[in-house]
Chains A and B, each alone.
Chain A
Amino acid sequence: MATTPHPARAPGRVALGLRVGRLGRAGWLAVAGVVTLLVVLVGGIVLGSVDLAPSTTLAILADRLLGLDLGMTWTPAAEAIVMDLRMPRVLTAMVVGTGLAVAGCTFQGLLRNPLADPYVLGTASGAALGAAVAVLIPVRTVFLEFGLLHALAFIGALVSVTVVYRLSRTGPLSPMTSLLLTGYAVGSLLAAGLAMAMYLSGTGLRVIFGYLLGGFDGASWLRLAVAAPLIIGGTIAILLRARSLNAFLLGEEAASHLGVDVRRERAILLALASLVTAAGVAVAGLIGFVGLVVPHLVRLLVGPNARLVLPLSALFGASLLAVADVAARMLGGVPVGVVTAVIGAPFFLALLRRARSAYEL
């Protein structure tokens, strides 16, 4: 799209035509995104490792969600599998996918770095270290179905972002460069801590490793009810700041000239994106590539306007992660982080090849 030739056309008419064309394209993508999401939602509930006839699953869904009696009977166990296991699991995957994609968009736009992902400011390493420490602590408490591991992962993610943000504000570098470099430095330090914790963990190693690879095995309605408001609320708050993200496209000084209170907006957007990421990480572990690839895909299709990129990324991020989770289940419990990497890495490589002309990475 960026490399299309440029026939000389009357400016006014072209502007209007492109505008309509662009809105149309984004509109179609939105429709496609919603349809995909619904298909994935139903598909994700119908498909699973437990043998349950699709017709029964659909009948249960029709009965419980729409109040339709399709004249079929099923066992309470089947209903429990559909309503209490698969449905919250698919919805959790969708919510986390939305959050990761939107957070990825935000970090990429704010840091003006196409390689930024939701974990770039140390969220991932902070959460991982928190989780590993939780495994080392011989205390088993559960609150709202969340264990110490989730709590410390959430706290670890937020603490590391806060530390990175604080540290980056001193020194002569430009704020964004400083933030990025500090993020990498702190991340490396935390990774060393994680390695040490894993080394010391003994039998807990499998638990830590399972967490690092990410997954939705523990998904439940209650966990979803705790995480969803954070992720969805944060996502909506970011969507409402699309204007600021657009201004940041030209850099911080230009954003200031375009009417953005740079320090304030930067802090708010970083906080929101970090919160969304931390909540996602606490629920589902470290799932890579969704936050990196989805925003790029959407940008290739509709251009960099955050007003389009953010909502479309949210839609497709939800579908991608839910599909990855279905694939993980069908493959007999492969960690979903492995699936997103297997889908994401080749896709990202293909994107990079294309990027020669369209993206300066």
Chain B
Amino acid sequence: MLEAEALTVEVPGRAILRDVSVRLEDGERVALIGPNGAGKSTLLRALSGTLRPTAGRVLLNGTAIQRLNRAEVARRLAVVPQQTALPFAMKVEEVVGLGRLPHEDPLRGTRPADRAATAAAIERVGLGHLMGRDARELSLGERQLVLLALAVAQGAPVMLLDEPTVHLDLRHQVEAMELLRDLNERDGTSLVAVLHDLGLAAHFFPRLVVIDHGRIVADGPARDVLSDELIRDVFNVEPGLVRLAATVPPTDART
């Protein structure tokens, strides 16, 4: 269970999040949507504990996340960033293997179970054909999948994803979404994903949380949340443009 209590995040002269409270139950799957600059990524960073809020707190299984040690947090919560830069040549499987660091024995290093988890994550995300390649030579989309595999290898019960599909082609977007659904429904991983594609969010996520100007403005299933007014007010587009995808009733919505 991951919970944000009255989070406020300020940078000098500006509040990015204002009094945001949201609760993720075990086994839930939540899409975080909203326009650029609304505060989605900031909320994600605060939820992961890497960003210390100006006010409020984040609770992971009832304990303030800032008071847990980072290794403990990392075993319970994985984060998929949008991108990372690698300073040195590194093979795909080596990058994915870094997901096992929180489970590693400080002295003995990687154990067979870790290698098995890494191999399983690579297979599950469908990256077998990229093994042996330098991760820096991959396309943006492939690198995004590598980071997703890293988080899968981490094997944490909660996963936070920052726009996991942004660089992917259509087929891989759908595959990534199906993988997330599978992780959630089969493995019980709780998910929070920042998404820009309202269609994907509505189709694959039973619960949408909408953020605008640093506040949560709507929270619930797609058919309740994605009203014409909200799309017009929050996203500033004509509802007709997104209706086709967004208002299709989610076939698999379960809570």
Which residues of A are in contact with B by a Cβ distance under 8 Å? Answer: 1-4, 6, 8-12, 14-16, 18-19, 108-109, 112-114, 240, 242-243, 246-247, 249-251, 253-254, 256-262, 299, 303-305, 307, 358-360
Contact = CB atoms under 8 A, between A and B. Distances in A.
Interface in B136-156: 136-137, 154
A259 B73 contact: yes
Contacts of A250: 84, 86, 95, 98
A259 B98 contact: no
Given A9-B128, A243-B109, 16 more contacts: A1-B89, A3-B137, A6-B132, A9-B131, A15-B118, A15-B119, A15-B131, A109-B87, A240-B106, A242-B109, A243-B101, A257-B48, A258-B102, A303-B91, A304-B89, A358-B89
Interface stretch (B74-82, B166-174, B209-217, B236-244): B74-82
Given A11-B122, A114-B88, A303-B90, A243 B106 contact: yes
16 contacts: A2-B137, A11-B127, A18-B91, A18-B131, A19-B115, A112-B87, A113-B87, A240-B107, A242-B109, A243-B109, A249-B87, A249-B98, A256-B49, A260-B71, A260-B101, A299-B88
Given A260-B70, A358-B89, A247 B50 contact: no
Interface residues of B, number: 50
B219 interface: no
B158 to A, nearest CB: 12
B66 to A, nearest CB: 12
A12 to B, nearest CB: 5
Interface in B169-197: none
B67 interface: no
A259 B71 contact: yes
B69 interface: yes
Contact of A3 (B107, B128, B134): B134
Ranked nearest first, the 4 interchain pairs of A and B with the lowest CB-CB distance are A259-B74, A11-B128, A259-B71, A2-B89
B133 interface: yes
B16 interface: no
Nearest to B154: A258
A18 B92 CA distance: 12
A247 B98 contact: yes
A286 B128 CA distance: 47
